[in-house]
Every structure is written in C-alpha cells, then in structure tokens.
C-alpha cells in the first residue's frame, strides 16, 4: 500500500479571524491546512500545492470568489480540485450561482456548522486519497510499462494494435504515432518448417487462430490465454524469435474486446540453448553426433524396432592403423583424417541412418528398418570402398582402410549393451581377419572374445608366477648329419595346470601389446641358456633362433634389449638368429625395416618364418636383410600329395639360390618329405622326424657328446633311401 502524505486543504478568506475559525473547526482532521487572504494569493497556493478541497469565501475585496473559482477551474491541471463556497446569510444568491457556473461544487453558510463542514471536508479528503492512490498506481504502471524488458501490446478483436509500450515499439520498430498496424503483420508463419512444434502447428498460427473469429467465442472454446513462441518480424524486416503470452481482455460487461500480449525477443537465448544442445550432443571435431547422443538414439531405435517388429543393425568401425598415422604425421593430419572419414561416412549413409563418433577413431552407425542382410552388406562395402580411396592431406598421400563389425538386434536375447558389444566383437573379428573388411556378429565370436579376454588376463600374471618355460627344437643339417641349431619355443602351463598353446596366446599377446614384455622375458631366458651352452664342447657353429613378432620391431626397444642381453651373457651375434613372422600386421613399416637392418648389422642372422603364407613374403625379400627362409609347414605337409605345393617349394628354392639365401624346411615329419627336400637341395631340416621341441638339458646333452644324437633317424632315412633306389631299379628292370 502506498504511503500517502496528508491531504491539503486551502482556506481562502480576506478576514483572518474567519480563516482561523474554519481552521479550528477542521483541526480534528488529519490534514494540512493552508490559508490565503486573497484570490490572488489563493491562485499562487494552487500553483504550488495539490489540494483535496478549497474553502472559498465568496465575498472578498479585489478578486471575487467566483472569479477565482473560474480561473482555477478553467485550467485543465486544476479542474479536478473541488471548491466549496463559504457564504454569509446576507450574500446575494447571484454570486453563489456564478460560483456554481464557474465550477464550484458546494457551499456552506457562515456561521459555519462545525459538524457539517467537518463531514463535508472529510468526504473530499477521502475522494482525494482515492484519486491520489489511483494516480500513483497509474504512475507506477507507466513506469513499469516503460521500463520492462518485455514488449507489451494491447490489441483489439481484429488484432489491431491499440497500445504498445516502448519496448514493444522498439522490438517491432513501430513509430509510436502509427498504431495502424495489426499484430498479424508481424507474425512469420512457417507451416512446413521442421522447427515448428512437435504437433506440427506453428505456434504463431495458433495465435492468429485465437485472434481471428474464434476470439469472439474464445471463452466458449475455453481459451482465454495462450503461451507460445514463434518468429516475428519487425517493420524494418528484423526477424526475431518471440516468446509470448496472450491474455484476453474484457469490457466491464464481460464482453471480450481484445487481448494483451507480453513478448520477449529470445533469439539470443534460443541460439545459446541450441549451441549448448549441440555441444552436448555433437562432436566438436567432426560435427557428427557423439557417444551420448548415439546411446540415446539407439535406445529409441530399439524401442521402435520392438514396436514395429522391424530389423535394426548397428555397425562399429574404426580406422585401421590410425595410431600410426597420428604418430607418424602428427595430430593435425590425424584430426583432418577423422573429419574426412566422418564426411565420407555421412555421405555414404542415408539421411535416416545415424552416424556417431564414439571417441578416438571409433565410429558407430545405426541402421533402422533394415530390409535385408544384403542391404547392410552393400552399405558396409560402400563404406570400405569410400574409405580406401587414396587421400591427400596437406599434400601428404595417405591410404587408409577401416574394419567394420555389424550386429543385428535380437529382441529376445539382447539389450542395448549386448548389441553394441556384439558389433564391437564383430569389428575385432574383422581386424583379426586382416582389416579392410566387414564381419557380421556370430555367437562363436563372443566365445572367442571371452576366451581372448581370459587368456589376456591370465597371461599378465604368467611371467610373475613362473608359468612360462622354453623348449628348444633342434635344426639338423643333412649334409653334416648333426644338429646345427635350434629354435626356442615358448611353453605356458597356466596356474590351473592347462597347457596353453603359443598358437593361441602369442596372437593375443601381440594384439594386447603383452608381447613386448613376453618377448623380453624370452630373450633374456634364451641368452642365459646360450651362455651355458657355449661352454660345452660341441657348441661351435650352433645357432639358436628366437621368434620375434613384428610388433616387437616397431621401436628400437627390442634391439636395445638384444644388445644388452648379448653383452650381459657374453654371447656372440653369430650364435643368434631371429625368426620374424608375419602374423601380426604392423603399423610402421619404415621403423620395422630399419630395425631389421640395424639388428642385421650387429651380426645377428635374420630368418623369415612361415615363408610362403604371408601376402608380402616375396616383397620382404627385396626390402629385408634376409639370411634364411623357413618354408612353412603347410607346404612340407603336402609333399607327395600336392604337386602344386611341390612346385612352389621348387620356386622358393630357385629364388633363394639366386639371392644366396639359405633355406630351412620346418615341420618335416616323414622320410618321404625328407627325401624330396634332400633331392631339391634343402639341407637344413626341422621337424618331428628328428625331434619335437625338447628341454634345454637335452640340447646340453647333445652338445656334450661326440656322438650324433640323431643316429637312429639318419639310419632310418638311409635305409629308406636305399630301399627306394632298389625299388626304382627293380621297376626299371621289369
């Protein structure tokens, strides 16, 4: 409630005693009394004070009372002040009439009746207070209207603007004098726009609807107010986003006569909100959706697939050897590559498919309402093709590929996590299948992945728990009829007593990186063994081979450890050979080749293991410092059975002879194989025919003795040879 000051009452009389009598009578009232002794003085007071009522003597020298009344009343500013004439009984009524004509509202006669005067004045005071309260709230309302940050508009039933506060004028760029505009002129309608509210209706449209014919029966349709937002356009063409509320107004008789609208320019807020939303859901680098968005979308897709009984597929993919590209060319190129791949993926997919960057170089795709498996295959193939197109990034030529795992949602057995895990498992399968391919998830992959994980976990404890040992498989020279070397082969008997084959755990260790630690352990273990063997009498010329994964040759670490181990154990490089297998794909060819060169330069022999099986074996021969080729067991196995394989062995031998590379055959189990190999001048033999991998002690025994440990095997071979010759002669004679 407003704190009103006391009302002012003006007493005008030329006789001081008369003024004082009136003042005395009115003294019980809580008012401020001001006196004026003439009409002129009274006018001065009126100019300076706001009066609730004026008590005006009718008969005064100079200006007459009614003349003063007229002057006051003719001024618009003071017209509202009620004036009560004070007359004496003998005054003529003529003067009183003139006063009424001039605007006086009442009169009292002298001698004044105390009660009547007090009551009268009290009434005028009450009226004054009401007036002042009303004036005050109007003033406040005006302050409010003029200063609020919202635009406020009054409109009639046709939408014509009848009132606008300064903010509304500013936002709509209306000249305050020209209210001839209608609200409808400012509303932008986009019905087909995707940004319209979810019900598809433009909320400006709703506003127009409310304002049109419907507003007359707004109450009957139950709408008296409306909140909404939409694009509005100012007279100067500025489009802004408006958040508005609209409230119906009524006449005193209850009839609707228009509406009041409060609106705000929320363009900036909306943009900020949109930016925040974008930031939360999109990846800053590639501008495709992020992991959080993907999860939300996948959840919805799963619900949709269940409801509509449609097929849903998820693809997981990452860029093959991305880490290498990042390390080799720097993060700028890496980032650029991610952006290009994102773009390629988006271009390959339909608009309805969702593609997200899950982090690093990992992407995931949701394919909804998949018609057939072939449809998904086609998309996967398109992605492979598109990604593998050669690129030029900052004038660096780069070739990349991707491995894709695909899983279909199985509503009865899968939740979202299972689906993602399945696609991920399939992606790992694609990686181990040599990359640049796609794989559909199969349940066996799951078992494989779980086993993989278990092995990886157990392996991390194996070295500490002393679960690893090394066996050695002799390499035999047919010419010298004795052991000329051996191959170190790792054995793992796990805590639970299971023998786990290196064929299982080596590839896992290669993938997990555990091969580095494992490799160092083997290296030290073998070198320690050699340092013992070299003290034995028949050690001379004995070469021990260590299997080294390409993964171990990606840095200089292995070479440095090798040098250290040879120094520590006093081993000559010519007694060591490394067998390089191509099982693991490797990221950095450059480092790999230069490491091999450096190891070779130390005097350590280099052998290509499993020769003939890898894709680039022949290519390696040109790039690598190769001393020995090891013909893979799979070819040896087919000797006498597969002429093509026999032919291949002959080709390998021919090539190696021209390049002066030594050859060894592995996996030799039978005399027939031995015979074939000897005939084709393969001198060095490794395989079960002579010996399985054996304990180091058994090798020690052989190195201690003058006698060939393989007498029996050679004997069998010789007699078999003799028999074959006899048989051949026999057939010739026949």
Instruction: Give contact residues for ligand C2E (rule: CB under 6 A).
Output: 473, 488-490, 501-503, 506, 522, 547-549, 579, 581, 609-610, 666-669, 687-688, 693
**How would you list the strands of the sheet with 7-12, edge to edge?**
31-36, 7-12, 51-57, 83-88, 106-110
CB 711 within 8 A of CB 483: no
Among 7, 87, 547, 656, binds Ca ion (CB under 5 A): 547
The partner in contact with residue 549, picked from ligand C2E, Ca ion, none with C-beta cut-offs of 5 to 8 angstroms by kind, is ligand C2E
CB of 357 to ligand C2E, least distance (A): 35
- Whichever of 688 and 727 has its CB closer to ligand C2E, that residue is 688
* Residue 1: HSE in the Cβ half-sphere, 13 Å Cα cutoff: 5
What is the distance of C-alpha 367 from the center of its chain? 19
Instruction: Give the Cα separation of 265 and 238 in Å (integer).
Output: 11
Measured from the CB atom, is 320 or 579 closer to ligand C2E? 579
Contact call for residues 513 and 494 (beta carbons, < 8 A): no
User: Helix (H, G, I), strand (E, B), or coil: what is residue 290?
Assistant: strand
Q: Could you tell me where the beta strands, DSSP code E, fall in 303-429?
A: 313-319, 354-359, 362-367, 391-393, 396-398, 402-408
Taking the complex as a whole, the smallest distance from the CB of residue 647 to ligand C2E amounts, in Å, to: 22
Of 263, 270, 257, 266, the residue nearest 186 (C-alpha): 263
Nearer to Ca ion, 206 or 609 (CB): 609
Of 243 and 672, CB closest to ligand C2E: 672
Q: Which is nearer to ligand C2E, 102 or 515 (CB)?
A: 515
Give φ, ψ of 364 to 5 degrees.
-140, 150
Binding to Ca ion by residue 544, rule CB under 5 A?
no
688 binds, among Ca ion, ligand C2E, none (CB under 5 to 8 A by kind): ligand C2E
DSSP SS3 for 588: coil
Structure-token pair, residue 694: 């054996």
- Residue 522 interaction partner, one of ligand C2E, Ca ion, none, beta carbon < 5-8 Å per kind: ligand C2E
Query: How far apart are alpha carbons 517 and 57 in whole angstroms?
Result: 118
Binder of Ca ion out of 579, 587, 595, 645 (CB under 5 A):
579
Partner interacting with residue 687 (select from Ca ion, ligand C2E, none; CB below 5-8 Å by kind): ligand C2E
Using CB distances below 5 to 8 A depending on partner kind, what does residue 231 bind out of ligand C2E, Ca ion, none? Answer: none
CB atoms within 10 A of CB 425: 24
- From the list Ca ion, ligand C2E, none, partner contacted by residue 501 (C-beta under 5 to 8 A by kind): ligand C2E
Binding site partner of 203, from Ca ion, ligand C2E, none, Cβ cut-off 5-8 A by kind: none
Q: Considering only 444-452, 530-538, 543-551, 696-704, which stretch makes contact with Ca ion by CB under 5 A?
A: 543-551
List the beta bridge partners of residue 318. Answer: 362, 403
The two three-digit tokens of residue 610, written as one number = 């499993």
Q: Nearer to Ca ion by C-beta: 611 or 710? A: 611
Structure tokens at 617: 């074996």
- DSSP at 182: B
Burial 674-710 (b: 16+ CB within 10 A, else e): bbbbbebebbbbbbebbbebbebebbbebbeeeeebb
- Where do we find the tokens 């005193």? 252
Segment near Ca ion (CB under 5 A); pick from 4-12, 304-312, 558-566, 579-587: 579-587
Partner whose footprint covers residue 60, from ligand C2E, Ca ion, none (CB < 5 to 8 Å by kind) = none
Shortest spacing between CB 454 and Ca ion, in angstroms: 26
Residue 242 in contact with Ca ion, rule: CB under 5 A: no
Neighbours of 537 (CB within 10 A): 9
E strand spans, 517-575? 543-549
Q: Rounded to 5 degrees, what angle do the CA atoms 111, 113, 116 make?
A: 145
Residues 6+ apart with CB under 8 A from 36: 10, 11, 12, 42, 44, 45
Least distance to ligand C2E from the beta carbon of 547, Å? 3
Nearer to ligand C2E by C-beta: 357 or 559?
559
H or E segment to which residue 163 belongs: strand 161-164
Binder of residue 667, out of ligand C2E, Ca ion, none (CB less than 5 to 8 A by kind): ligand C2E
Cβ-based nearer residue to ligand C2E, 18 or 691: 691
Q: Which is nearer to ligand C2E, 595 or 666 (CB)?
A: 666
SS3 60: coil
The residue among 97 and 688 lying less far from ligand C2E, judged by its C-beta, is 688
Residue 686 contacts Ca ion per CB under 5 A: no
Q: How far is the CB of 649 from ligand C2E (least distance, A)?
A: 16
- Rounded Cα–Cα distance for residues 526 and 531 (Å): 9
Q: How far is the CB of 717 from Ca ion (least distance, A)?
A: 22
Give which of ligand C2E, Ca ion, none residue 473 binds (C-beta under 5 to 8 Å, depending on kind).
Answer: ligand C2E
Q: Which stretch binds Ca ion (CB under 5 A): 151-159, 349-357, 419-427, 603-611?
A: 603-611
- For Ca ion, the closer of residues 404 and 546 by Cβ is 546
Gap between the Cα atoms of 467 and 452, Å rounded: 18
For 291, the 3-state DSSP assignment is helix
Peptide bond into 111 cis (omega under 30): yes
What is the DSSP code (8-state) at residue 187? B
CB of 666 to Ca ion, least distance (A): 5
> What's the min distance (Å) between Cβ of 709 and Ca ion?
21
Stretch that binds Ca ion, among 232-240, 342-350, 394-402, 574-582 (CB under 5 A): 574-582
Minimum distance from residue 312 beta carbon to Ca ion (Å): 44
Cβ-defined contacts of 199-206 (< 8 Å, 24+): 202/230, 203/228, 203/229, 203/230, 204/228, 204/230, 204/231, 204/232
Residue 610 within binding range of Ca ion, rule CB under 5 A: yes
Instruction: Compare residues 496 and 503 and give the one whose CB is closer to Ca ion.
Output: 503
Instruction: Please state the closest distance from residue 553 (CB atom) to ligand C2E, in A.
Output: 11
Choose, by CB under 5 A, the member of 68, 609, 629, 713 that binds Ca ion: 609
Least distance to Ca ion, CB of residue 532, Å? 22
CA–CA dist 528, 128 (Å, integer): 114
Distances (CA, A) of 179 to 174, 220, 532: 8, 30, 107
Closer to ligand C2E by Cβ: residue 155 or 677: 677
Would you state the structure tokens that stand for residue 628, as one six-digit string? 């020995």
Least distance (Å) between residue 677 CB and Ca ion: 15
Residue closer to ligand C2E (CB basis): 265 or 666: 666
Among Ca ion, ligand C2E, none, what binds residue 693 when CB lies within 5 to 8 Å by partner kind?
A: ligand C2E
Nearer to ligand C2E, 305 or 685 (CB): 685
Which tokens go with 734? 């026949």
Q: Return the number of the residue (66 or 689) whose C-beta is nearest Ca ion.
A: 689
> In this structure, are residues 332 and 394 in contact, taking their beta carbons and an 8 Å threshold?
yes
Helix axes 322-329, 331-348, angle to 10 degrees: 140
> By CB under 5 A, is residue 577 in contact with Ca ion?
no
Q: Which is nearer to Ca ion, 547 or 656 (CB)?
A: 547
The entry of Ca ion, ligand C2E, none that residue 503 binds, CB within 5 to 8 Å by partner kind: ligand C2E
User: Of ligand C2E, Ca ion, none, which one sits near residue 669, judging by CB under 5 to 8 A according to partner kind?
Assistant: ligand C2E
Cα(225)–Cα(568) distance, integer angstroms: 91
**Of these partners, Ca ion, ligand C2E, none, which one is at the site of residue 87 (CB under 5 to 8 Å by kind)?**
none
Q: How far is the CB of 609 from ligand C2E (least distance, A)?
A: 5
Q: Please, how many CA atoms are within 13 Å of residue 378, restricted to the half-sphere of its CB?
A: 8
**Residue of minimal CB distance from Ca ion?**
579
The one of ligand C2E, Ca ion, none whose footprint includes residue 639, by CB under 5 to 8 A per kind, is none
- Binding interface with Ca ion (CB under 5 A): 547, 579, 609-610
């Amino acid at each position: 409630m407003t704190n009103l000051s006391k009302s002012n009452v003006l007493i005008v009389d030329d006789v001081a005693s008369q003024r004082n009598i009136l003042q005395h009578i009115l003294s019980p009232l809580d008012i401020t009394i001001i006196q004026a002794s003439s009409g002129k003085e009274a006018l001065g007071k009126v100019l300076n004070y706001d009066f609730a009522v004026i008590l005006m003597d009718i008969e005064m020298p100079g200006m007459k009372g009614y003349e003063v009344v007229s002057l006051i009343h003719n001024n618009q500013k003071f017209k509202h002040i009620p004036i009560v004439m004070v007359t004496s009984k003998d005054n003529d009524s003529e003067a009183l009439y003139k006063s009424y004509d001039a605007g006086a509202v009442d009169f009292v006669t002298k001698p004044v009746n105390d009660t009547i005067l007090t009551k009268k004045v009290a009434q005028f005071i009450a009226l004054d207070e009401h007036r002042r309260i009303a004036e005050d709230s109007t003033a406040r309302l005006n302050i409010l209207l003029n200063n609020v940050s919202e635009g406020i508009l009054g409109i009639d039933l046709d939408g014509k603007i009848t009132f606008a506060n300064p903010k509304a004028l500013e936002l709509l760029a209306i000249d305050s004098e020209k209210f001839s505009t209608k609200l409808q002129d400012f509303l932008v309608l986009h019905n087909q726009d995707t940004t319209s509210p979810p019900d598809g209706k433009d909320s400006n449209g709703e506003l127009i609807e409310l304002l049109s014919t419907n507003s007359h029966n707004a109450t009957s349709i139950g709408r008296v107010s409306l909140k909404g937002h939409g694009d509005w356009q100012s007279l100067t063409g500025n489009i802004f986003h408006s958040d508005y509320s609209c409230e119906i107004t009524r006449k005193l008789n209850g009839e609707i006569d228009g509406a009041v609208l409060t609106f705000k320019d929320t363009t900036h807020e909306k943009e900020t909100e949109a930016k925040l939303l974008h930031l939360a859901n999109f990846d800053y680098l590639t501008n495709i959706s992020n992991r959080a968005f993907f999860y939300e979308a996948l959840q919805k897709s799963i619900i949709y697939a269940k409801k509509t009984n449609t097929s849903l597929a998820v693809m997981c993919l990452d860029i093959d050897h991305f880490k290498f590209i990042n390390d080799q060319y720097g993060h700028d190129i890496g980032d650029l590559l991610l952006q290009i791949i994102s773009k390629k993926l988006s271009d390959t997919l339909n608009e309805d498919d969702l593609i997200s960057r899950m982090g690093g170089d990992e992407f995931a795709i949701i394919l909804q309402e998949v018609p057939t498996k072939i449809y998904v295959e086609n998309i996967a193939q398109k992605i492979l093709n598109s990604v593998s197109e050669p690129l030029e990034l900052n004038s660096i030529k780069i070739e990349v590929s991707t491995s894709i795992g695909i899983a279909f949602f199985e509503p009865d057995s899968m939740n979202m996590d299972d689906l993602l895990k399945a696609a991920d498992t399939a992606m790992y399968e694609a990686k181990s299948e040599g990359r640049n391919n796609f794989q559909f998830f199969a349940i066996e992959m799951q078992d494989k992945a779980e086993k993989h994980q278990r092995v990886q976990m157990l392996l991390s404890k194996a070295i500490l728990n002393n679960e690893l040992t090394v066996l050695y498989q002799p390499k035999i020279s047919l010419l010298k009829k004795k052991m000329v070397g051996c191959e170190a082969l790792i054995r793992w008997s796990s805590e639970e007593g299971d023998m786990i084959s290196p064929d299982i755990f080596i590839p896992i260790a290669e993938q997990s990186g555990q091969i580095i630690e494992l490799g160092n352990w083997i290296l030290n273990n073998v070198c320690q063994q050699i340092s013992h063997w070299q003290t034995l009498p028949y050690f001379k010329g004995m070469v021990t081979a260590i299997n080294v994964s390409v993964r171990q040759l990606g840095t200089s670490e292995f070479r440095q450890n090798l040098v250290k181990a040879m120094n520590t154990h006093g081993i000559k490089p010519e007694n060591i050979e490394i067998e390089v297998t191509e099982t693991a794909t490797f990221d950095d060819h450059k480092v790999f080749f230069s490491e091999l060169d450096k190891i070779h330069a130390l005097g350590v022999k280099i052998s290509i293991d499993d020769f003939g099986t890898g894709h680039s074996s022949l290519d390696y021969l040109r790039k690598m410092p190769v001393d020995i080729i090891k013909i893979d067991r799979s070819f040896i196995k087919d000797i006498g059975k597969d002429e093509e394989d026999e032919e291949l062995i002959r080709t390998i031998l021919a090539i190696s002879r021209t390049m002066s590379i030594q050859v060894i055959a592995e996996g030799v189990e039978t005399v027939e194989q031995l015979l074939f190999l000897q005939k084709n001048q393969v001198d060095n033999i490794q395989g079960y025919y002579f010996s399985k991998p054996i304990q180091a002690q058994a090798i020690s025994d052989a190195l201690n003795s003058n006698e060939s440990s393989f007498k029996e095997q050679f004997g069998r071979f010789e007699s078999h040879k003799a028999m074959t010759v006899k048989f051949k002669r026999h057939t010739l004679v026949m």
